[in-house]
Amino acid sequence: MFLAKGAEATIELIDGMVIKNRIPKSYRLKALDQIIRKQRTKMEARIISESRRRGVPTPIIFDIENCKITMEYINGPKIKDILTPGLSNNIGTVVGRLHFEGIIHGDLTTSNMILYDDRIYMIDFGLAFFERSVEARGVDVHVLFRTFESTHDEYEILIENFKKGYRGIFPDAEAVLKRVEEIKGRGRYA
């Protein structure tokens, strides 16, 4: 059963397991396409396992082959559909934990978070990487705030609550949140 056809991969549920398959993009030059798909698959599997080991809820990885990852099925609603100020606080905690552990998700949207067993599971680490710079963390949070703004009403409250959760767990939160403001106004013509 198809769970989703995302922008870069198909997500199938087979025998109770999720199979994420990075599909070739015919608009992209073949050489470039293969580099991107392979690199992202390898890095994603590695970071999903690493995050889980460090206390951030993510699916268990069962297998990796070529551009395909087989992993645990997290059966719950997407945060996108149920987001409340309270949940936004929890998102702050989870993202703070990731950043504390030196992991940048790279695509923090509310479609990439699932609520299961009262915990927020992070999925889709396709653009994730390891980095401890204020800049990388700032861009990560900036991307999430942009999702709040573009897809949720009353985003100011969501942002405020995120900050509470983020500050609560992550000692470097203040520097990152300050950088987010700077990124927002940077180099933008429009």
Q: Considering the complex, what minimum distance in angstroms separates the CB of residue 57 from another protein?
A: 20
Read off the tokens for 52: 């889980």
143 touches another protein (CB under 8 A): yes
Asked if 110 contacts 78 with a C-beta cutoff of 8 angstroms, the reply is yes
Per-residue x/- marks for another protein, 1-30, CB under 8 A? ----xxxx----------------xxxxx-
Distance CA 183, CA 173 (A): 15
Distance CA 59, CA 144 (A): 21
Q: Which residues pair with 69 in a beta bridge?
A: 20, 64
Q: Which residue stretches of 21-126 are H helix?
A: 30-53, 79-82, 85-100
Q: By C-beta, is 38 or 53 nearer to another protein? A: 38
127 touches another protein (CB under 8 A): yes
Q: Which residues contact 132 (CB under 8 A, 6 or more apart)?
A: 102
CA distances from 110 to 36, 70, 107, 113 (A): 24, 22, 9, 6
160 touches another protein (CB under 8 A): no
Judged by CB under 8 A, the stretch of 11-19, 142-150, 158-166, 172-180 that binds another protein is 142-150
**Catalytic residue from among 33, 63, 81, 107:** 107
Q: By C-beta, is 40 or 53 nearer to another protein? A: 40
142 touches another protein (CB under 8 A): yes
Active site residues: 107
Summarize as ranges the residues that interact with another protein (CB under 8 A): 5-8, 25-29, 31-32, 35-36, 106-109, 111, 127, 139-140, 142-144, 146-147, 149-151, 153, 183, 186-190
